[in-house]
Chain A
């Protein structure tokens, strides 16, 4: 079925099966493979994208349900020139190893920090409890997110 929405600021038009999740639509139809698919049933958080400003699991959303909305993926939170403050903070704190969960961590953290740039460690831990990482033990990830707060207080972190 034909579906239109925005991805990273650009209008897109796709023709997908009704059962296609937004995650699969992004990866297979739009070739935006930065969004990772881990569990496919809403547990791991790897597929998190930002829809109309809110972090959501793209495996628990049909592409058809995204009709008319504005989607931001990990590709929309990076650029070719330099690391964003959030990316730089992840690098500085060694907050990734294999990198599989990282797109979901970054999109979730970006949504959180955009809305709550003054959040504390407890809040970061609570929010990231929906994202699984099998490498790092989470401590470095929490530190990286906390350290990136300053950039979001000034501007939108991009």
Chain B
């Protein structure tokens, strides 16, 4: 339906944007690409009295590739990530996951900061930042702070972000060149939200066995989560068929699954195991 009545502001500095967001007792909302917020407004699931457009804020659109990792400005769009050739080696897991985000037209406007602030449990990039232990830099009334991804997502559409805080940058730790990784997603139609997805990586020790395994599950529970029991299965082991089978079994057994109109909880648990299995096969080959 038509959007609820609202006011609109388009500040040119971060301080001004924070002040506007703080001016309405939690009733103002930041809008970046708007590809999640506009549908929320159209369904009247969100009815803020003020939208604060972030499009004129400087310095939020850069992709920085540095010695300590990849920094993504909050207003970096899916399209920008797709088109950045450096990311193929600087962060191949991010690049692979972005290929699954929504559709062509939405990828031209949707932003990484917007997706993370929206926190849809089935969205790919919140899952990537959790899997990779990314840091999320935010600015608010009392200055800037950094929130670790693991502490950022608190439930479906619920985050640690205060009402007047704005995400400024997502910092992904350095990706070593020989790291093994896999990303697998199941959705009924291309571009749909995941019914389940697995994002994972591990490094190989001198003996060829897995170390530093990170396994993330997306779209199964109320937020993206790592699966420590599955990581324990992988660490110290050769990633052979027996290890993969065991990891898939533990993923299905330990994942926190929710039910909705798209799939039952047992189906999602089974799917999570299959996604982990396939992603591990990708990683190994």
Taking Cβ atoms with an 8 Å cutoff, the residues of A that contact B are 1, 17-19, 21, 24, 40-42, 45, 48, 54-57, 59-62, 64-65, 67, 108, 112, 125-127, 129-130
The smallest beta-carbon distance between A25 and chain B, in angstroms, is 12
- By a CB distance below 8 angstroms, the chain A residues around B189 are 129
Counting residue pairs across A and B whose Cβ atoms lie within 8 Å, the total is 88
- Binding site of A, secondary structure by majority: helix, strand, loop or mixed? mixed
- By a CB distance below 8 angstroms, the chain A residues around B191 are 129-130
Name which residue of chain B comes closest to A21, CB basis: B3
Instruction: Please judge, given known A-B contacts A18-B51, A130-B103, whether A64 and B8 are in contact too, CB under 8 Å.
Output: yes
Is A108 within 8 A of B105, CB to CB?
A: yes
In angstroms, Cα B39 to Cα A60, docked, is: 7
Name which residue of chain B comes closest to A126, CB basis: B190
Is A60 within 8 A of B35, CB to CB?
A: yes
- Binding site of B, secondary structure by majority: helix, strand, loop or mixed? loop
The smallest beta-carbon distance between B5 and chain A, in angstroms, is 6
The smallest beta-carbon distance between B113 and chain A, in angstroms, is 16
Q: Hey, what's the 0/1 contact readout for B1-24 against A, CB within 8 Å counting as 1?
A: 111111110100000000000000
Is A60 within 8 A of B8, CB to CB?
A: no
Within 8 Å by CB of B106, from A1, A19, A24, A42, lies A42
The smallest beta-carbon distance between B96 and chain A, in angstroms, is 15
- By a CB distance below 8 angstroms, the chain B residues around A125 are 190
Is A40 within 8 A of B42, CB to CB?
A: yes
Q: Is B53 an interface residue (CB 8 A)?
A: yes
- By a CB distance below 8 angstroms, the chain B residues around A18 are 5-8, 51
In angstroms, Cα B1 to Cα A40, docked, is: 6
In angstroms, Cα B189 to Cα A45, docked, is: 15
Within 8 Å by CB of B5, from A17, A40, A48, A65, lies A17
B residues 101-119 with Cβ under 8 Å of A?
102-106, 108-109
Q: Is B34 an interface residue (CB 8 A)?
A: yes
In angstroms, Cα B106 to Cα A57, docked, is: 7
Is A19 within 8 A of B6, CB to CB?
A: yes
The smallest beta-carbon distance between B77 and chain A, in angstroms, is 9
Is A42 within 8 A of B38, CB to CB?
A: yes
* Cβ contacts A to B, 9 pairs, < 8 Å: A18-B8, A19-B41, A24-B2, A41-B39, A42-B42, A62-B34, A62-B38, A64-B10, A130-B106
- By a CB distance below 8 angstroms, the chain B residues around A56 are 105, 108-109
- By a CB distance below 8 angstroms, the chain B residues around A41 are 38-39, 42-43
In angstroms, Cα B113 to Cα A128, docked, is: 26
Name which residue of chain B comes closest to A112, CB basis: B104
Q: Is B284 an interface residue (CB 8 A)?
A: no
15 new A-B contacts, CB < 8 A, other than A19-B5, A57-B105, A60-B35, are A1-B8, A19-B4, A24-B2, A40-B42, A41-B39, A41-B43, A48-B105, A54-B108, A55-B108, A56-B105, A57-B35, A60-B39, A64-B8, A64-B53, A129-B103
